[in-house]
A = this chain, B = another copy of it.
Amino acid sequence: MLLHGYFRSSAAYRVRIALNLKGLDYGQRSLHLRRGDQFSDAYRKLNPAQLVPTLEDGSSVLTQSLAIIEYLDETRPNPPFLPDDAQGRARVRALALSIACDIHPLNNTRVLGYLEKTLGLDQKARDAWYLHWIETGFAAIEQMLAGSRDTGRFCHADAPGLADICLVPQVANAARVDTDMSKFPTIARINAECLGLPAFQKAQPQNQPDAE
């Protein structure tokens, strides 16, 4: 398997965690997003959205981090990323989507680029935007986690899964704008639990070959 990603991309970070949790070997090809490597014709053929990550698994070319992670879970079922029951799966997917839809898309490279270049926002205004969506999203997720008996050592019970895979990269992003994590104690606790595991540590941005 070959993962097209970037050390700072939190969507690629999710897929690295998933691959590591499944115990899979994979190669990495780095696309420097701020230099625009994703806009090459060759990459657009693989991924028309010109975003990372893309995973090649044999002849299959897979895009969208959550679709990739569900694919890995279906084709390599152990350890599972989703609980056995439909309600539990819906809860875990809702937590994952609360990050993947409600926070991350607002703060990715191309959106920050639009705020800077098209709207002329300075660094302070861009950081305020970034922090606003993290704090809004984390407030919801903290309540979803702290208010549920399904929350255990991890987001759902006592093994890491799809929600944790999304949570840890988002907490890493939150640190870029000095988010006060004392407001989100359950998120902070679960993040620390996850980062105690080698699968998460190995996937961290600073441990990638293209880290700067």
Chain A residues close to B by CB (< 8 Å): 44, 48-51, 60, 62-64, 66-68, 70-71, 74-75, 86-87, 89-91, 93-94, 97-98, 100-102, 104-106, 110-111, 114, 118-119, 121, 125, 128-129, 132, 136-137, 139-141, 143-144, 147
Contacts and interface: CB of A to CB of B under 8 A. Distances in A.
A50 B139 CA distance: 11
A143 B48 contact: yes
Given A75-B86, A114-B129, A98 B49 contact: yes
A89 B74 contact: yes
A94 B64 contact: yes
Contacts of A63: 94, 98
Given A74-B89, A119-B119, A129-B114, A64 B101 contact: yes
B97 A66 contact: yes
A68 B97 CA distance: 11
Nearest to A74: B86
B106 A147 contact: no
Contacts of A97: 64, 66-67, 100
Given A49-B98, A98-B49, A140-B48, A60 B104 contact: no
Given A48-B141, A67-B94, 19 more contacts: A49-B102, A51-B102, A63-B98, A64-B101, A66-B93, A66-B97, A68-B90, A70-B89, A71-B87, A71-B89, A71-B93, A74-B86, A102-B105, A105-B106, A110-B136, A114-B132, A119-B119, A119-B121, A119-B129
